[in-house]
Amino acid sequence: MSEADRQLWQLSAMELADLIRNRDVSSREVVEAHLARIEAVNPEVNAVTRVLAEHALDAADAADRSDPSGPLHGVPFTIKENIDLAGTPTTQGVPALADAVATVDAPVVERMLRAGAIPIGRTNLPEFGFRISTDNPLHGRTRNPWNRDLVAGGSSGGEGAALATGMTPIGLGNDIGGSLRNPAYCNGITSLKPSTGRVPHYMSMPPQDGGMAIQAMLVEGPMARSVADLRLALTILAGRDIRDPVSVDAPLSGAAVPKRAVMVTEIPGGAIEPATVAAVREAGAALAAAGWDVIESTPPELERIQEIWGRTMAHDLIVNMPLMELVISEALAVGLKQLFEHFDPDTMRSAEVDAERSRLARLWSGYFVEHPVVIGPTWTRLPFVHDADLDPDTGMALITDTLRFITPGNLLGIPAVCVPCGVEGGLPRGVQIYADRWREDVALAAAEIVEAAMPPVCPIDPR
C-alpha cells in the first residue's frame, strides 16, 4: 500500500498532527475515521469500553475553528479505565465502580488535553489491573487481534488491542508489573514505561495513596505504534505534579553514553521462546550495524529481583485484601491468594524488602555504566490462552515464568521501551529495551534504530 493510499486510521499520531496542522485534513475527518474504525472492528476484540463520539466530534470542530494549540492539536487518543477522565467513570473494570464518575482529569489526561489531543474512548483492563491478561465482570474479555483465542496482555490490554487495530493512534496506560509492556508485546505495538517519578500518577477517588508498591513501582505512560510517538508523548507527559509526591522535574536527556548494548538471550529460571531470542539477536544486529558494540550477557540477580518485586506487591495487596474481596471476582481473589502463598509476606519484613530493592537498584545502576542499553525479551513465552493465568494449579507458575524480564523495570524504577520485531507464526515478535533511570532518551534512541531495521507491523485487521 502506497503512502497516498493509507487511510487516516492507519497513520501515527505525529502524522495526523502534521496533516491537521497543515490543513490537509480536518480534525473532524480524523475523528470520524477513528470512530468508524471503532464501530467496524471493536466487536471483534472488545478493546474500547466507552465511545466518546459526541464529545470528540464537538472537540474536533472546535479544533478546526482554532489555531493549533499544541503538538497533538486535533488528534484523538484513548484512555485506560483506571485513569481519570472527568465526566466518565473510572471503573477499574469492577462492577461496583461502574458509576464512579471522575470529577477531575488525571495529570496525564490534563497534559494530553493541553497538547490539543481529543479523548475518543475508554479502554478495557482486568479488575483493578491485577492480571497480565484483560477480562473483567463489567466489560468482558479483550481478545488478541492476531489470534482471538490468545490473551491481549494486561493490564492495559484494551489499549494494546485498540492501537493494534487502528481504533486509536495513541493512548494512555500504566504499569506496576508490565501493564504497558505486556500488551505491547502481545499486540505488536510500542510502549514506554518511564522511570518512576518521571510522569505523575494521581487518582481523584479514594484510595488516593497506596503503599510502597505503588509509590516505588507504579508509572503512567504512553502506548502507540511508533517510537517517534512515544518520544513526543514523553515530552508532553513528563514533569512534576504536586498531587504526586514522587513526581519530579528531570531533564529529558543526559550526557552521551558509550554505544554499548547487551543482548539478553538467557535468563535464570527457564528458557526463552526461540522466536523472541531471534528477535533479540536481530535487534542487537541492528545496533551493531549502526556502530554499537553488542555482546550477549545476563544482568545481575534477575531471580532475586523478581522475588523482591513479588514481595513488594504482596506486602501491599494483603493489607487491602479484605476490602478488595468485597468487590472482585472469586477467580481473581483465588489468584491473589496464590500470590501471597508464593511470596509469603510473613517470611520477610517490609523493611528488609525495601532495603533489598535499594541494593538491587544500585547494583543495576553500576551495570548500566558499562552497558548503557540492555535488550531482552518482553515476555519469555508466547501469548497464552485465555484464563491460563488463573488456573489454580499452574497459573502462578505461568505468571512468574512469563514476567522474568518484566519485573526489573518496576522494582528498579528504570525506563523500558517495547518495540515490535516482525511477525513469526502469525504472532508479532518484540523486544524490550532497558536503560538506566532517567535515561529514557538512551532507550528511545536504541529503539528507533531497531524500529528502522524492523518496521511496525500494525495496524492490522482482526476480521
pLDDT digits over 400-412, tens only? 999 999 999 999 9
CB 184 within 8 A of CB 224: no
- 133 assigned to active site: no
Catalytic residue among 12, 27, 133, 155: 155
Q: Is 259 a catalytic residue?
A: no
Which residues, 6+ apart, have CB-to-CB distance to 147 below 8 Å? 383, 426, 427
Which domains are seen in the chain, by residue range? Answer: 3-453 (3.90.1300.10)
- pLDDT band per the 50, 70, 90 thresholds, residue 205: confident
pLDDT of residue 302: 98
Residue ranges of alpha helices (H) inside 22-91 are 27-45, 53-65
- Give the active site residue among 179, 191, 247, 329: 179
Task: Please report which confidence band the pLDDT of residue 4 belongs to, taking 50, 70 and 90 as the band edges.
Answer: low
**pLDDT tens digit sequence for 73-115:** 999 999 999 999 999 999 999 999 999 999 999 999 999 999 9
CB atoms within 10 A of CB 1: 7
Q: Of 27, 80, 195, 329, which one is the catalytic site residue? A: 80
What's the pLDDT score for residue 1?
A: 38
Please report, for residues 112, 113, 199, 204, 239, the alpha-carbon distance to residue 105 in angstroms, rounded to integers and kept in the order given: 10, 10, 15, 8, 16
Active site residue 247: no
Does this model's pTM top 0.95? My answer is yes
Three cell numbers written together for 103: 470529577
Q: What is the pLDDT of residue 357?
A: 98
